[in-house]
Amino acid sequence: MARLLLLRHAESEWNAQGRWQGQADTPLTERGRRHAAEAGPLLASFEMLVCSDLRRARQTAEIIAAGAEIETIDTEPRLRERNAGPWQGLTRDEIERDWPGYLASGRRPDDYETDEQLVVRADAALGHIALLADRRGTSEVLVITHGGVIHSLTVRAGLQPVPMPNLSGRRMSVEDGALRVGEPVSVGDAEHHSSDAVEAGSPPPRP
């Protein structure tokens, strides 16, 4: 059985600006870099680290790896955030202006990647990671991904999504090809280092 810790990346520039990121390749803020550096030593029990290929996830993984003394980072493109279609780069106010009522009702525009579409590639990625971990003789894997990925897997498991600050997420496990979603986890002072969650699929910002 592979035991996975899936974490949302540290704060990015578009997180700080309140923009819906989707698959835009935005970098970390300085606050995000500090949070990742704080988290590194707290994650030193992991020997294997896998991340999305988007820059905010890769930068988070690189900083954590340095602090946790993890030598190798594997990149997995199927762990990308969902494609947010025409909402990519927009704030909630801009979305409400151009798609009035969509956010409140849970509707999404054309070309927006659904939860069902996202979990197909996420399942494939996590299954591959579990096999790779088995070949390397380790069962504990740290996975740096995105809010929408963790949200979609949580919803598919029938669990209630919770607010997801940067560098928070869920414990999960893969056994005989089946994914089990476990309890929420936050690393470091996630609330202090995070903007309100506006990534695709995340719950609305906290009041």
Residue whose pair of structure tokens reads 């790779």 in the numeric block: 132
Rounded CA-CA distance 24/104 in Å is 24
Give the ranges where the chain is alpha helix by DSSP (H): 13-17, 30-39, 55-68, 92-98, 102-105, 115-136, 147-156
Residues in a beta bridge with 7: 144, 169
Question: Could you give phi then psi for residue 17, rounded to 5 degrees?
Answer: -90, -5
CB atoms within 10 A of CB 75: 13
Q: Which residue is catalytic, options 9, 35, 146, 193?
A: 9
CA 57, 63, 68, 74 dihedral sign is: positive
Q: Which run of H or of E encompasses 49?
A: strand 48-51
Rounded CA-CA distance 201/207 in Å is 18
Q: Which residue is catalytic, options 11, 38, 76, 81?
A: 81
Q: Is 81 a catalytic residue?
A: yes
| Active site amino acids | 9, 81
